[in-house]
Amino acid sequence: MTMLSSEKLEIARAVESRQEKFWKISDAIWSYAELGLEEYKSSKLLVDTLESAGFKVEQGVAGMPTAFVASWSHGTGKPVIGFLGEYDALPMLSQKSGSPTKDPVVPGAPGHGCSHNTMCTMQALTVISLQEIMQKKGLNGTLKVFGSPAEEILVSRPYLVRAGLFKDVDAVIDCHGDTEFKVAYGMEGTAMYSFIVTFYGKTSHAGSSPWMGRSSADAVELMHAGTERMREHLPITQRTHWVTTEGGEAPNVVPDRASTWYYIRDLDENVESNFKWALDCARGAALMTQTTHEVKVIAAVHQRFSNKALAELVFENIKAVGKPEYTEEEEAYARALQEAAGFQVKGMDYPVELTSPETGPLRGGSSDVGDVTLVAPCVSMRYPVRVPGSPSHHWTVVSTGATSIAHKGLTAGAKAASFSAYDLLTNPGVLAKIRAEFEELARERPYKTFLPDGAQPPIGLNTALMEKYRGDMEQFYKNP
């Protein structure tokens, strides 16, 4: 750790004094491994923790039962600093904690393959530690945690923005667990439309009276054939992919219902026209097969445009916190995991860095944080809770997510986030610079949601899948 001011040393102590409680919360959420919009236990644990610290919590915001906003104000209540936090898991990634080889707790069940168990937990540790310092030092300001469900299906933020929840927020610190300790500024990732197309045909005996039937499965295949040809003529920044979610039950029954789920991704300026072209493919497929069809948009998100001045501030604090120190045992686990997974074997060796569009190519993934970056200055701080080499949505992330490596990273993240928020609360000059940069972005890219009129969060999308495993998972729940 480089030289810290006495205030930041005090904040670091405030974080360390309560870290163990938050490690347990993170481990409990890891064990619940609840899918998007099913995070009832996870969000309740976070809400209870924030409420008992004196935060005022509004639950079920923007039409999502597991979303919440937790606020706490001191003095004049200005400035208002927002903190984004996620807690949803991913299907099929169940994995034993600390096992360096692939070994599920409940085969087929969900797991925290993207470190989200640590994320809203880290933000809760951040704001509760800051609250102590603000009270001690008589600092003005409001701390607002946005409990953001269903990030893995890119759902919650456009709805939180649509509900006007970021209107009075001066700056936002988002976070993500990672293999590195870093922050980025500038344009990141792709915008995306996520939608399900369902075709309706007619059943009949596929052998004795096929002429009586109209196959919805044929329509799905023809839509795929159409978008496959479409992709060749899209800008090279596009990503277009799909899965068939329903395609009939038996070859001898012409299926009267079939569905396909699409992600259409590209730059903000291209994504809407790509989406419309895919809808034309759906219409064409229905016409060719004499079926009808229906489109349900699940999510529509912007690219991220992270604030440079805020990223530079957060990076100074990341450097001030520095990398956690790892024990021989942790290093040995990391090397064993890297060996088993076929990653480069280098232990807990990773960089601490500030990245931007100049330091690497644009990545194809998306995040619903994009919409927030267009309504408030925002950056995503990435803090180290994984073994280097572990990609997102991989069993190795689940393996590490409730170990001492993740705990150390969670604490380091909370220190860097609370140092940064402290700077925003106490240095009006730096906040003004961040705001001025944001106003320029807002002029260049005035915010307009990609959500179609009347779009609603897809409540229940994961209910059946979650219920299939919840009973078997319960015996392995960890107590917070």
> Which residues here bind Zn ion, judged by CB under 5 A?
114
DSSP letters for 265-295: EE-HHHHHHHHHHHHHHHHHHHHHHT-EEEE
Q: How far apart are CA 25 and CA 312, in angstroms?
A: 30
Q: What is the closest distance, in whole angstroms, from the C-beta atom of residue 86 to Zn ion in the complex?
A: 7
Token pair belonging to 250:
């038996």
Residue with smaller CB distance to Zn ion, 255 or 409: 409
- In the chain, the N- to C-terminal Cα span, in Å, equals 30
Residue with smaller CB distance to Zn ion, 31 or 380: 380
Q: What is the closest distance, in whole angstroms, from the C-beta atom of residue 220 to Zn ion in the complex?
A: 29
**In this structure, what are the phi and psi dihedrals at residue 221, rounded to the nearest 5 degrees?**
-60, -40
Residue with smaller CB distance to Zn ion, 120 or 434: 120
Residue with smaller CB distance to Zn ion, 114 or 337: 114
Residue with smaller CB distance to Zn ion, 36 or 324: 36
Q: What is the closest distance, in whole angstroms, from the C-beta atom of residue 414 to Zn ion in the complex?
A: 18
Token pair belonging to 323:
């990398």
Q: What is the closest distance, in whole angstroms, from the C-beta atom of residue 325 to Zn ion in the complex?
A: 26
From 178, 228, 166, 235, select the one nearest 381 (Cα to Cα). 178
Q: How far apart are CA 413 and CA 269, in angstroms?
A: 33
In 282-377, at which residue ranges do the beta strands (DSSP E only) sit?
292-301, 304-306, 352-355
Q: What is the closest distance, in whole angstroms, from the C-beta atom of residue 178 to Zn ion in the complex?
A: 9
In the sheet that holds 257-266, the strands lie side by side as 239-246, 257-266, 191-200, 292-301
Q: What is the closest distance, in whole angstroms, from the C-beta atom of residue 85 to Zn ion in the complex?
A: 12
- How big is the CA angle at 294 (ends 291 and 300), to the nearest 5 degrees? 145
Cβ-closest position to Zn ion: 114
Residue with smaller CB distance to Zn ion, 382 or 435: 382
